Amino acid sequence: MAEDWHAADVHNTTTRERTRTMIHEIIPFPVRPWTLNGISERMLVSHYENDYGGAVRTLNAVRSDLAALDDKTPGDRIRSLKREELLAMGSVTLHELYFGNLGGEGNKIPDQVRAMLEEHFGSVAAWRREFLGAARSLAGGSGWVQAAVDAAPVLALDMYEHAYHMDFGANAVAYIDAFMRNVDWAAVIERMDAVRADRSLPSDDPSDQSLPSLSIEELTARLAKGEPVQVVDARPRHHISRNVDLMEGAIWHDPDRVEEWIGELSPDQPVAVYCAYGFHVGCNVAKALRERGFDARYIRGGVSAWYAAGGARALRPAGA
């Protein structure tokens, strides 16, 4: 077992710990992106990696500029940075809410939501008229539509073109219908409950908490220090065959044939395993390696979170 990995105490950061640091961590996909009804995995992943990831990268860049200010910095420079920070923070938060409120059966509105909508709007139909009307009015434009409780958003709909153009072209109405079919009302209820109880909004991190893991930011910090982390790409063969690139420095190994390649790993150096989004595959491989005595961790959010954070890509070697 690699002692330095443990000595440095890489642990799962909690939300509270994350907010103490300046860096906003990319959240892992809160929804399995291949499970949506009429919204493609390709579009959702592009949205997450490029647009959400871009907002997080902007936010972190602005915060690092702010941290570098001194007493001589002119007020207008501070003001413009704070304005940029607010804009980026809004985009980051709304995207996290948006991905987190997808993945359900949107057509089945639970009684609890129904009662709430009837109380405040008169009927579900009246609420839909307002919500969908606001969304349709943004077709060809851009913006967010939100349902809020006490000014806190509990349902977010992204009406920027990047949210739908790949699947729907200019047909924003079809996108809005698809969005409504996929609303995860359970997530909305959790948020409503949190607002009412004056708690912070629940985190949608679906990562396996029972296994040691690493965030992208923790991995980046370790690699930057030159630590000898063996990074294993464990995406299933059918997934990797559709993708020409992988995380720079990683080696692809078939997750179904661990016994065949485990001998290539160095037993005294830590292993970081990733899959596409950080759900089960990477976890299973990390678990198998741990059972064989390796100090293995899975990477939360998978390679998608790595790309979203701006991590470097490499071309997969032919035949691998």
Can you give the binding site for Fe ion, defined by CB under 5 A?
51, 158, 160, 163
User: At its nearest, how many Å lie between Fe ion and the CB of residue 160?
Assistant: 5
Nearer to Fe ion, 163 or 305 (CB): 163
Nearer to Fe ion, 97 or 240 (CB): 97
Nearer to Fe ion, 42 or 196 (CB): 42
Nearer to Fe ion, 91 or 213 (CB): 91
Nearer to Fe ion, 100 or 270 (CB): 100
- Tell me how far apart the alpha carbons of residues 57 and 268 are, in angstroms, rounded to a whole number: 34
User: At its nearest, how many Å lie between Fe ion and the CB of residue 143?
Assistant: 10
User: At its nearest, how many Å lie between Fe ion and the CB of residue 95?
Assistant: 6
User: At its nearest, how many Å lie between Fe ion and the CB of residue 25?
Assistant: 18
User: At its nearest, how many Å lie between Fe ion and the CB of residue 98?
Assistant: 7
User: At its nearest, how many Å lie between Fe ion and the CB of residue 85?
Assistant: 18
Nearer to Fe ion, 57 or 280 (CB): 57
